[in-house]
Every structure is written in C-alpha cells, then in structure tokens.
Amino acid sequence: MFTGIISTIGQVVQVQALGDSAQHGKRLRLEVPAGYLEGVGLGDSIALNGACMTVTSLPDSGTAFTVDVSAESLTKTTGLDKLGPVNLEKAMRIGDPLGGHIVSGHVDGLGQVLALTQTGESWTLGVRVPSSLARFIAYKGSVTLNGVSLTVNTVRDSEAGCEFTINLIPHTIAHTTLGTLTAGTALNVEIDTVARYVERMLHLSANTSPATAKLSS
C-alpha cells in the first residue's frame, strides 16, 4: 500500500533481459540517494512510477537495488524498462502519515500527456485517458499519475476519451519527474481505490434482481 507521495527520484541505470522472448521480463538496477534504502530488506515493495515492485537484491553499495519486472507488467505499464529517472515510493508502514490518498501500486491503464504549461507559479498538466477509465475521473477527485497522488481540476469527456487537467505546484515539479513531461508522453494511471469499489457496487446493484437481493439480505 502507498500514498502517492514520492519519497525520492531514482535512476534506472541497467536493464537486463531475463530471456530472449516477449514472454520474458526485465531486471532493473536502480541507484538512489545515500540512506534511502535504510530499513529496506529483500522482498520489500517499492513503487516505480506508480507500479509496485519487489526488491530482489541489495548490492553492498547501499545506494542501489534491483527489481524483476514481468512481461505482464511491461505490457500494462510504461517507462519501466528504460534508462533514466523514475519516481520512487517505499511501501507504507503502520504509523506513517497518509499524506496523499490510498494507492495500491496497480496500474489501471495508460494516459497520454496533452500539454504541460506554466500558469503563474504553477503548471497545468493536461492528460487524456481511455473512455474505459472515464467513469473513475471526477472533479476534485484523486488520481495517481506515474506514482504521484494528484487532484483533478477539470474534466471533459470526448469521443477520444476523458480529458482532465491537474495543477502541479513548484514542489511537485522539483521533487518528481512530472516536470519533464512533454505532449504525447505516456503515463501510468491508477484510479482512486474508493471509486473502484463504488463502481463495482453500483454495477452489481444494477444487475441484481429483486429475488436475488432478497436472498442475499
């Protein structure tokens, strides 16, 4: 479980194929600032650009770790098998503050950056997601983009999908990779957990006959 509050920016410095076919995944080696891995052990979870991964090794340097990304994860996410910076968040521990919102680290789909423009001291990020995710995007609701917990400012539905905007404050620009986004860039999107369950309950309610509802009451 995560909060969507990025704890550091790591660097993917090595990508190693785990096999010679599309059914094989990749092993990533990441470098992080000194001290970041204190208290982290083998098998612990760290989210990379919003995707929950398992620490598979901790080299003696203390500033690096590796994760194995399955072929399934690679087909459902973006940016995990490329060299360069990624947003990192260690899994929540009991007693940690919930500064963002409840994030599972399971990517629901890919979005596309429409624009990133400066507005006053902040930046406005425009994103489009597939129509299948439109019902989960709400004005002033929560959404996770590349692992960052964000608040939706505007929403507009179109034939091409659901378009929405996010306000990025200078702190977010400085402490995540979102400031490097350009139009056309793909993003990992995780919908709000509460919205996920509300949609499921509404779907079941709409498709439950009175007789079935009586039996289950």
Residues 26-81 pLDDT 10s:
999 999 999 999 999 999 999 999 999 999 999 988 999 999 999 999 999 999 99
Residues 6 or more apart whose CB falls under 8 angstroms from that of 86 comprise 9, 10, 11, 12, 30, 48, 49, 79, 80, 177
Is 99 part of a structural domain of the chain? no
Query: Per mean pLDDT, which range of 59-73, 129-143, 154-168, 193-207 is the poorest?
Result: 193-207
What is the rounded distance in angstroms from the CA atom of residue 143 to the CA atom of residue 6? 14
- Could you say which of 90, 125, 150 is where a domain stops? 90
Statement to judge: residues 14 and 71 lie in one domain:
yes
> Is 27 among the domain residues?
yes
Residues 63 and 114 in one domain: no
> How many domains in the chain?
2
What's the whole-number average pLDDT of the chain? 92
Higher pLDDT, 29 or 198: 29
Query: pTM of the prediction?
Result: 0.90
Residues 126 and 73 in one domain: no
Tell me the residue range of the domain where 177 lies.
Answer: 109-203
